[in-house]
Amino acid sequence: MNGMHVILLRLGSDPDDAHARAVAALKAALPNLRWVSSYRVGGAYDAVDVVDFQPGEDPAEAERALRDAGIAAEWLPAEASAVLRAPGGAPGGAPGGA
Residue 50 is predicted with a pLDDT of 92
Domain assignments of the chain as residue spans, ordered by start: 4-82
Pick the CATH number of 4-82 from 3.40.190.10, 3.30.70.920, 3.40.630.30, 3.30.420.40: 3.30.70.920
CB 29 within 8 A of CB 62: yes
**Is the C-alpha dihedral spanning 22, 25, 28, 32 positive or negative?**
negative
pLDDT exceeds 60 at position 91: no
Residue 3 is predicted with a pLDDT of 86
Helix (H) or strand (E) holding 10: strand 4-10
- Closest of 75, 37, 70, 79 to residue 58, by C-alpha: 75
